[in-house]
Amino acid sequence: MAVGIFDSGLGGLTVLDAVAKRLPEVDFIYYGDSANAPYGVRDADDVFDLTKAAVTKLWDAGCDLVILACNTASAAALRRMQEAGLPEGKRVLGVFVPLIEALSERDWGDNSPPREVAAKHVALFATPASVASRAFQRELAFRAIGVDVEAQACGGVVDAIEDGDLILAEALVRSHVAALLRKMPNPGAAILGCTHYPLMETTFQEALGAGVKVFSQADLVAESLADYLARHPKLVGPKVESRFLTSGDVRQVSDHATQFLRRRIEFEAA
Ligand code: DGL
């Protein structure tokens, strides 16, 4: 048995890298639905159907626990899947609650009433679907008071990364940051609310300026997964081989993953 990590494409590899480093004894099966990426321009029903099919694939591959390492899928599908009821013994978790907990200075699962926090002006960068869902603002409102969030839907960035076009991805990040700064000239913090964006973190930080604290998810998710598995050790199970699965073109996806992660990654067709 292994823990499943799912993303629409390559972005979840940023989460996989961090969780594999934090939990070296755990095996992971990664599934990227690159044939259907980007999810961020699809409507909520479409994202839900694709996410459910992908998670079922990972459950069938032997993972009892699947992490949605995709904010767009977490926003559109997580609550709906959990409310519809999961198969016996299967679990699914999302990625943005650990991020919101870090921003709102909370420990894992602290459900106390919302309170004032240090971050007052927060820039949110996410896919058009995640921004439209307002899921970040909703989760933040449960935990923090008086935080002004300005959201920028970063159209095109996921496509450029999936196509391996670093130059276009950089240009798009700079123009989305400039658009955000026109609406909120002095953010104190920025959230990279898409798991693809840490692949461009240096560009985000440069464009925002050194004074802006950039929150990205990978390490925060790794900590909260370690905490969760310590409380649910049965979900790890016996050793299996870690694998990388894709619905896309195996050669192209492997090459682009290798380019961004700077280590050889071989995907298998799924
Ligand atoms: N990595 C996904 C996320 O975190 C990207 C979604 C997409 O495919 O547009 O939102």
Going by pLDDT thresholds of 50, 70 and 90, the confidence category of residue 238 is low
Q: Is the CB of 139 under 6 A from ligand 1?
A: no
Residue 163 is predicted with a pLDDT of: 92
CB-based burial label for 213 (10 Å; 0-12, 13-18, 19+): middle
Average pLDDT over residues 247-261: 94
State in Å: Cα 130 to ligand 1 middle.
Answer: 8
Catalytic pick among 20, 50, 63, 70: 70
Average of per-residue pLDDT across 109-125: 91
Residue 172 CB less than 6 A away from ligand 1:
no
Peptide bond before residue 233 is cis, with ω within 30 degrees of 0: no
Together in a domain, 87 and 104? no
User: 236 pLDDT band (50/70/90 cuts)?
Assistant: confident
Whether 205 and 264 share a structural domain: no
Tell whether 212 and 222 lie within a shared domain.
no
Based on the fold, state whether residues 238 and 210 are members of the same structural domain: no
Domain boundary among 216, 238, 254: 216
Q: How far apart are CA 70 and CA 88, in angstroms?
A: 24
Look at residues 11, 17, 53 and name the one whose alpha carbon lies nearest to residue 32. 11
40 lines ligand 1 (CB under 6 A): yes
Predicted pLDDT of residue 142: 92
Closest by CA to 32, choosing from 261, 201, 257, is 257
Ligand 1 centroid–CA 154 distance in Å is 10
The verdict on 116 and 27 lying in the same domain is: no
Known catalytic residue at 70: yes
> Could you tell me if 103 and 207 lie in one domain?
yes
Could you tell me the distance, in angstroms and rounded to a whole number, from the CA of residue 91 to the centre of ligand 1? 21
Question: Domain boundary at 174, 193, 216, which?
Answer: 216
Protein residue with its CA nearest to atom 8 in ligand 1: 38
Which CATH number characterizes residue 127's domain? Answer: 3.40.50.1860
DSSP-H helix ranges across 41-156:
44-60, 71-73, 79-84, 96-103, 128-133, 135-141
Q: What does 8-71 look like in DSSP terms, one character per residue?
A: SSSTHHHHHHHHHHH-TTS-EEEEE-GGG---TTS-HHHHHHHHHHHHHHHHHTT-SEEEE--H
| pLDDT at residue 234 in the model | 83
- Whether 197 and 135 map to the same domain: the answer is yes
CA-based radius of gyration for the chain? 18
The model's pLDDT over 54-92, given as tens digits with 9 standing for 90+, comes to 999 999 998 999 999 999 999 999 999 999 999 999 999
Once rounded to an integer, what is the mean pLDDT over residues 47-55?
Answer: 97
**Number of structural domains in the chain:** 2
> pLDDT at position 214, please?
94
pLDDT score recorded for residue 165? 94
Q: Distance, CA 221 to ligand 1 centroid (Å)?
A: 16
pLDDT (tens digit per residue) in 204-226? 999 999 999 998 889 889 998 99
143 and 253, same domain (yes or no): no
Predicted confidence band at 172 (pLDDT cuts at 50, 70, 90)? very high
Would you state the pLDDT for residue 124?
97
Tell me, yes or no, whether 102 and 211 share the same domain.
Answer: yes
Q: Which ligand 1 atom sits closest to the C-alpha of 41?
A: 9
Mean per-residue pLDDT, 249-257:
96
- Atom of ligand 1 lying closest to residue 72 CA: 10
Q: What is the pLDDT of residue 207?
A: 98
Per-residue DSSP letter, 164: T
Under a CB-based contact definition with an 8 Å cutoff, are residues 55 and 267 in contact?
no
The pLDDT-based confidence of 97 (bands split at 50, 70, 90) is confident
Confidence band (pLDDT; 50, 70, 90) for 185? very high
Indicate whether 236 and 197 sit together in one domain. Answer: no
User: Domain limits at 152?
Assistant: 98-216
**pLDDT classification of 37: cutoffs 50, 70, 90:** very high
Count the neighbouring beta carbons within 10 Å of the beta carbon of residue 252: 15
One domain, residues 134 and 224: no
Same domain flag for 174 and 265? no
Active site annotation includes 194: yes
Indicate the residue among 216, 239, 256 that finishes a domain.
216
Backbone φ/ψ region at 268: left (φ over 0), alpha (ψ -120 to 50), beta: beta
Catalytic residue among 19, 66, 77, 194, which? Answer: 194
**How far, in Å, CA of 101 to CA of 99, rounded?**
5
Mean pLDDT of the chain: 93
Distance 194 CA to ligand 1 centre (A): 5
